[in-house]
Amino acid sequence: MSASEAIATDTPRAGSSGTGPVADRTARSGPSARNGTGGKPAKRKLTGREKRNLRVGLLFISPWIIGVAVFVIYPLIYSFVISLTQYSGMQSPTFIGFKNYIAAFADPMVHTSVGNTVYYMLLAVPIGLIIALLLALAMNRNVREVAIYRTLLYLPSLIPMFAMSFIFIVFVNPQFGIVNQFLGLFGMPDTNLLGEPRYAKIVMIVMAQLGAGNAALIYLAGLRNIPETLYEAARIDGASRMRQFFSITVPLLTPTILFNLITGVSGAMMVFTEAFIMTNGGPDNSTLFYMLYLYRNAFSYGQLGFASALAVLLFLFGMLLAGLIYWLSRRFVNYDVSAG
């Protein structure tokens, strides 16, 4: 009965927002019906329908609320708290202030792992952005076989990193692989690439490029959003294809480039699986990436406090980088024209 009352009182107001009155089980009980008959909203108070919608809405998103509390907010706080302690996971943590952070800054292995990760990031991300863009241009060609291009260029992106790592172990192996044969053509002596500190990271950077298909598809969507009329106008003005590419395609693709940059950087920050499987950080710690060192501290050395400090530092570095990229994007990213 109270439900029909709610409908009667709510109907006049329903038109404004477009949502009709609801008569579900939750609306039938509780204060909403009472407030629904209460008439005008006083000051900034919610109307009855808004209150009921709020309650139903919150009920629907309650799994997410629980999830965000348990899997995001709690871990964030816990990470920070535990990073201020000495904690092995076995005994209860003892508070040691910022000693873990001081130790992290002094630890030569942290320096090595940061250096390796930054090296990886500075090479893999820009190369990846360019290769993905080239793939996207190939995927966007007007030739009959373009479907084959798209499928074959995307397919390697589908392979999980752990399987790709196994494949590359064989692929670059001097005995069973073909990469050495190929490099031999250019006069490079037979080397176990994964056993050489100079080359192990390079192998991983090259391997990462096989996954460029994902970013390429995102570029492809961006390319298709560029209005054709711009190219037509440029052609009439006699602009060369190079000129069109750098004056139209690249500037209008900057939002997409930004997106791929962010995903690329965050992926590079957390590079782990390939180093874990292919080299386990070796040779000579040349593939000891930050995440691998964090993982070892947490799960091999039982240094959960120290590992948490590393995690918090990674988090802060990520935020800093996000801020920097955002600042750069305001200067260089062009949101003006889109085909809508």
Per CB under 8 A, which of residues 92..131 are in contact with another protein? none
The yes or no reply on residue 328 touching another protein (CB under 8 A) is: no
* Nearest-approach distance from CB 102 to another protein, in angstroms: 19
* 284 Rama sector, left if φ>0, alpha if ψ -120 to 50, beta otherwise: left
* Nearest-approach distance from CB 198 to another protein, in angstroms: 22
| CA-CA-CA-CA dihedral for 21, 23, 29, 30, to nearest 10 | -20
* Nearest-approach distance from CB 203 to another protein, in angstroms: 12
Query: CA 81, 281, 297 angle in degrees (round to 5)?
Result: 20
Per CB under 8 A, which of residues 275..294 are in contact with another protein? 276-277, 291, 294
The yes or no reply on residue 247 touching another protein (CB under 8 A) is: no
C-alpha span between 81 and 97 (Å, rounded): 10
How many residues are there in the chain? 340
Q: What are the distances in angstroms from CA 340 to CA 48, 332, 337?
A: 38, 20, 9
* Nearest-approach distance from CB 29 to another protein, in angstroms: 13
* Nearest-approach distance from CB 315 to another protein, in angstroms: 4
Based on CB atoms, which residue is closest to another protein, 127 or 137? Answer: 137
Selected from 208, 269, 271, 275, the binder of another protein by CB under 8 A is: 269
* Nearest-approach distance from CB 207 to another protein, in angstroms: 8
Q: What are the distances in angstroms from CA 247 to CA 135, 195, 237, 252, 328?
A: 19, 44, 13, 9, 19
The yes or no reply on residue 30 touching another protein (CB under 8 A) is: no
The yes or no reply on residue 217 touching another protein (CB under 8 A) is: yes
C-alpha span between 256 and 223 (Å, rounded): 9
Selected from 192, 210, 247, 283, the binder of another protein by CB under 8 A is: 210
Q: DSSP alpha helices (H): ranges in the chain?
A: 2-17, 25-28, 31-36, 48-60, 62-68, 74-83, 99-106, 108-139, 146-154, 161-171, 179-185, 197-209, 213-224, 228-236, 241-244, 250-269, 273-274, 290-299, 304-332
The yes or no reply on residue 9 touching another protein (CB under 8 A) is: no
C-alpha span between 106 and 17 (Å, rounded): 59
Binding mask 150-189 for another protein (x = CB under 8 A): xxxxxxx-xxxxxxx-xxxxxx-x-xxxx--x--------
* Nearest-approach distance from CB 111 to another protein, in angstroms: 18
The yes or no reply on residue 199 touching another protein (CB under 8 A) is: no
Number of residues that bind another protein (CB under 8 A): 123
Based on CB atoms, which residue is closest to another protein, 105 or 246? Answer: 246
Per CB under 8 A, which of residues 124..153 are in contact with another protein? 135, 137-144, 146-153
